[in-house]
């Protein structure tokens, strides 16, 4: 996709920003996970990439860690120390990973972060159970702070979690429907991705004593950032490099996902759009969809592109990115923090994984 226009944030070191989030939050996250009763602690450690399937220490890919970085910046946006945001960063990561564990099982995904998913290695029951445990732990990590701010943070996290679950419910229901509108798809993605990213951007500030208006404005940035993030994810889900994403080729097409490029292409009209619609309708009824060749998926991807679904989605990512950055004007924060939040937004739309 067309790279976004860099703003005045050329000096921000994104790798260092993500690394700071990881460095400050991972020890607290590991300590929380260590509280789980066996064998859930081991299963969770495998999921996070801290050990391999045989239980040996590993230095696996724990994900991009965008959310922890955002939670620490969130605290700084409210004038608090980055450390103030750590319990929020950990709680959001726990909710994010709870949803990954359950979603991978529900969606039948066999690979995540270049490794077999938990249900594949440890079985469905452990995937359910450990997901539940991480979800409970998220609230525990916040509520045991025992402060009024922690109660407010937990409330926001709970609301975000509910939206996340609503989004997954919508996503699953879309797979069984022939047609989904672009609006429905955006609503689903706002729930499934926007809500928790929004929470990551407000939770540190709330823990740092920010008022509801400030928190809401930060959430607006996070919500649009989430929509930009998901639009890019939808592009990577079809055209991403499997070596970079850790997923199969044509991953979202294999799962019949009604992602943005697909719904936009179907809504576009014209020859390619109609041909795509016919193919996908036939696919939904096909008994040998699972044995489709690479070429068959490539044909569908080419039709999506020809109908304009790829370009529409790339434009949508840029549009949401711009709205997110604009929202930052509503909060009075240190210029350095604003530059870092802007740079993170830029990173989200240009990433390859």
Of the candidates 70, 64, 71, 74, the residue with the CA atom closest to the CA atom of residue 86: 71
Q: DSSP secondary-structure letter at 51?
A: B
Cα end-to-end span (Å), the chain: 13
- Out of 121, 169, 322, 323, which residue is the one contacting a copy of itself (CB under 8 A)? 169
Q: Given the rule CB under 8 A, which of 73-81, 163-171, 291-299, 345-353 is the region that contacts a copy of itself?
A: 163-171
Q: Nearer Cβ to a copy of itself, position 12 or 138?
A: 138
Minimum CB separation of residue 10 from a copy of itself in Å reads 40
What is the Cα–Cα distance from 223 to 329, expressed in whole angstroms?
Answer: 15
Minimum CB separation of residue 166 from a copy of itself in Å reads 4
Asked whether position 140 contacts a copy of itself by CB under 8 A, the answer is yes
Q: What is the DSSP string of 81-121?
A: -GGGGHHHHHHHHHHHHHHHHHHHHHHT--EETTEE-HHHH
Asked whether position 31 contacts a copy of itself by CB under 8 A, the answer is no
Q: Given the rule CB under 8 A, which of 2-10, 147-155, 232-240, 339-347 is the region that contacts a copy of itself?
A: 147-155
Residue 193 makes CB contacts below 8 A (sequence gap 6+) with 167, 226, 227, 229, 230, 233
What is the Cα–Cα distance from 133 to 157, expressed in whole angstroms?
Answer: 16
- Out of 23, 155, 271, 329, which residue is the one contacting a copy of itself (CB under 8 A)? 155
Asked whether position 121 contacts a copy of itself by CB under 8 A, the answer is no
Q: Nearer Cβ to a copy of itself, position 127 or 348?
A: 127
Tell me whether residue 177 is exposed, middle or buried, using C-beta atoms within 10 angstroms of its C-beta: 0 to 12, 13 to 18, 19 or more. Answer: exposed
Q: Nearer Cβ to a copy of itself, position 42 or 249?
A: 42
The angle that helices 212-239 and 309-327 make with each other, rounded to 10 degrees, is 160
Of the candidates 196, 175, 22, 60, the residue with the CA atom closest to the CA atom of residue 109: 175
- Out of 36, 228, 264, 280, which residue is the one contacting a copy of itself (CB under 8 A)? 36
Structure tokens at 74: 């969130």
From residue 79 to residue 108, what is the string marking binding to a copy of itself with x (rule CB under 8 A)?
-------------------x---x--xx--
- Out of 173, 181, 271, 286, which residue is the one contacting a copy of itself (CB under 8 A)? 173
Asked whether position 255 contacts a copy of itself by CB under 8 A, the answer is no
What is the Cα–Cα distance from 5 to 15, expressed in whole angstroms?
Answer: 19
Q: What is the DSSP string of 118-153?
A: HHHHH-HHHHHHHHHHHHHHHHHHHHTT-SHHHHHH
Minimum CB separation of residue 132 from a copy of itself in Å reads 5
Q: Given the rule CB under 8 A, which of 162-170, 237-245, 275-283, 335-343 is the region that contacts a copy of itself?
A: 162-170
Binding-site size for a copy of itself (CB under 8 A) equals 41
Q: Nearer Cβ to a copy of itself, position 192 or 247?
A: 192
H-run or E-run covering 170 = helix 148-175
| Cα–Cα distance list, 156 to 150, 160, 202, 227, 283 (Å) | 10, 6, 8, 19, 40
Q: Nearer Cβ to a copy of itself, position 61 or 132?
A: 132
Minimum CB separation of residue 210 from a copy of itself in Å reads 16
Asked whether position 132 contacts a copy of itself by CB under 8 A, the answer is yes
Asked whether position 186 contacts a copy of itself by CB under 8 A, the answer is no
- Out of 19, 144, 183, 332, which residue is the one contacting a copy of itself (CB under 8 A)? 144
Of the candidates 201, 237, 227, the residue with the CA atom closest to the CA atom of residue 333: 201
- Out of 143, 279, 322, 339, which residue is the one contacting a copy of itself (CB under 8 A)? 143
Q: Which residue ranges make up the site for a copy of itself (CB under 8 A)?
A: 35-40, 98, 102, 105-106, 124-125, 128-129, 131-133, 135-137, 139-140, 143-144, 146, 148, 150-151, 154-155, 158-159, 161-162, 165-166, 168-170, 172-173
């Amino acid at each position: 996709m067309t790279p976004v226009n860099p703003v005045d944030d050329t000096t921000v070191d994104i790798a260092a920003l993500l690394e700071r989030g990881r460095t400050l939050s991972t020890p607290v996250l590991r300590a929380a996970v260590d509280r789980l009763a066996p064998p859930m602690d081991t299963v969770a450690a495998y999921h996070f990439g801290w050990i391999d399937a045989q239980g040996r220490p590993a230095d696996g890919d724990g994900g991009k860690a965008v959310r922890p970085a955002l939670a620490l910046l969130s605290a700084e946006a409210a004038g608090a120390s980055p450390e103030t945001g750590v319990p929020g960063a950990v709680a959001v990561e726990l909710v994010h990973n709870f949803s990954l564990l359950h979603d991978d099982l529900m969606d039948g995904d066999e690979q995540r972060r270049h490794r077999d998913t938990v249900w594949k290695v440890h079985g469905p029951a452990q995937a359910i159970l450990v997901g539940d445990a991480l979800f409970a732990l998220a609230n525990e990590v916040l509520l045991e702070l025992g402060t009024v701010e922690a109660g407010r943070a937990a409330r926001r996290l709970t609301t975000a979690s509910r939206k996340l679950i609503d989004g997954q419910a919508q996503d699953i229901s879309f797979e069984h429907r022939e047609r989904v509108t672009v609006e429905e798809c955006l609503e689903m993605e706002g729930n499934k991705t926007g809500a928790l990213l929004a929470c990551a951007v407000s939770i540190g500030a709330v823990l740092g004593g920010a008022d509801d208006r400030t928190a809401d404005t930060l959430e607006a940035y996070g919500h649009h950032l989430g929509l930009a993030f998901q639009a890019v994810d939808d592009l990577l889900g079809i055209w991403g490099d499997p070596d970079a994403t850790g997923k199969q080729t044509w991953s979202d097409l294999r799962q019949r996902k009604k992602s943005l490029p697909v719904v936009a292409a179907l809504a576009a009209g014209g020859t390619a759009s109609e041909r795509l619609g016919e193919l996908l309708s036939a696919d939904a009824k096909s008994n040998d969809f699972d044995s489709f060749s690479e070429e068959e998926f490539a044909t569908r991807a080419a039709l999506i592109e020809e109908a304009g679904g790829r370009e529409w989605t790339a434009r949508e990512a840029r549009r949401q990115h711009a709205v997110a950055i604009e929202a930052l004007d509503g909060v009075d924060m240190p210029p350095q923090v604003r530059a870092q939040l802007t740079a993170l937004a830029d990173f989200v739309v240009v990433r390859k994984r």
